[in-house]
Amino acid sequence: MKKKILIISGGISKERIISLETGKQVAKELKKNNYLVKTCEPDKDLLSAIKDFKPNCIFNALHGQFGEDGYIQTILETLGIPYTHSGVIASAKAMDKEISKKIFLKNKILTPKYFIYNFNKTNKELVSFVKKKFNFPVVIKPINEGSSVNVYICTKNNLLKNLKFLKDYKKVMIEQFIPGREIQSAIIGKRKLGAIELKPKRKFYDYQAKYNSSAKTEHIIPVDLPKRKYKDLMNITLKAHNLLGCRGVTRSDFKYFKGKFYLLEINTQPGMTKLSLVPEISAYIGINFINLIKLILKDASINK
């Protein structure tokens, strides 16, 4: 009997377009391989779609808020149907950059220094505080967005200007800027998939560099690292995955500077588009797209 897979994609986050593309690519591959597939949005018709379709498993292709912060996972838990990627608590921890950083630091995983800004300082106080704490440049970002949405590298001269773009967020992370190489690594279940290095033509691997093919980010695989350093990278990646209680596939973003790996964040819902990194890493070690999807589905369970 053909397995029924319900793909949830789209949503209301700023990553909606990427989510739709992920859902489209996964659906296309599953249909080619004899699965019965239905795609739906996480809206008022979701429960009806589940009831009518009766899927064997739900593939969560949502990105960003509502999709990977524990919210949709809570709904899926109550339905008792296996779903892909991390569960409620792990998703919530990973999505909140402040919480995940605290966990990394507590467990001796190197991550850039930071503080949380609540728009409660005068302009002069903030610039002075940042300069004293870790100097410029700094990175500013929302604590609960993905895909580098609203992330800015700021100097003393444009910090206040860029913060205005984030004024609708209750809290913003101001983080020490770490120069160096951009390396991302992936886990599936408890297996170390591998890593890839990125050389963006832009200032850093931002939203455009990730999803706009004209941005021409260079992808380097295998990563040119000594064997011992590569082993360290993958051990840190698996450690972070386990510390947050993740399952399924995750991708961790690092900066490599002066022989040290700085973990920026962990992504529990990495993209599955033509430009996505996890499928590229998997393909390099001989796991094609459909087999990667099958591994993700195999790892799906009700996360009690």
Domains of the chain by range and CATH?
Answer: 4-85 (3.40.50.20), 94-110+179-298 (3.30.470.20), 114-176 (3.30.1490.20)
123 is a catalytic site residue: no
- pLDDT at res. 148: 63
- The active-site residue, picked from 19, 147, 148, 282, is 147
- pLDDT at res. 208: 46
- The active-site residue, picked from 87, 146, 194, 271, is 271
- Reference 269, options 133, 86, 140; nearest CA is 86
- pLDDT at res. 65: 84
15 is a catalytic site residue: yes
Instruction: Please give the backbone phi and psi of residue 218, each rounded to the nearest 5 degrees, phi first.
Output: -85, 130
- pLDDT at res. 206: 44
- pLDDT at res. 121: 66
86 is a catalytic site residue: no
267 is a catalytic site residue: yes
Collapsed DSSP state (helix, strand, coil) of residue 101: helix
253 is a catalytic site residue: yes
- pLDDT at res. 119: 75
- pLDDT at res. 207: 43
271 is a catalytic site residue: yes
What are the Cα distances from residue 249, in Å, to 42, 163, 186, 202, 275? Answer: 21, 33, 7, 27, 17
- pLDDT at res. 213: 52
- The active-site residue, picked from 69, 145, 182, 253, is 253
- The active-site residue, picked from 15, 29, 68, 175, is 15
- The active-site residue, picked from 9, 152, 169, 251, is 251
- pLDDT digits over 31-50, tens only? 999 999 999 999 888 999 99
252 is a catalytic site residue: no
- The active-site residue, picked from 83, 114, 211, 256, is 211
- Alpha helices by DSSP H, listed for 67-108, are 71-79, 88-95, 97-106
251 is a catalytic site residue: yes
- pLDDT at res. 128: 87
Cα atoms found within 13 Å of the Cα of residue 20, Cβ hemisphere only: 9
Spans of the chain below 70 pLDDT: 120-122, 146-148, 202-215, 301-304
- The active-site residue, picked from 21, 175, 197, 265, is 265
- pLDDT at res. 54: 94
- Name the token pair of 246: 């993740």
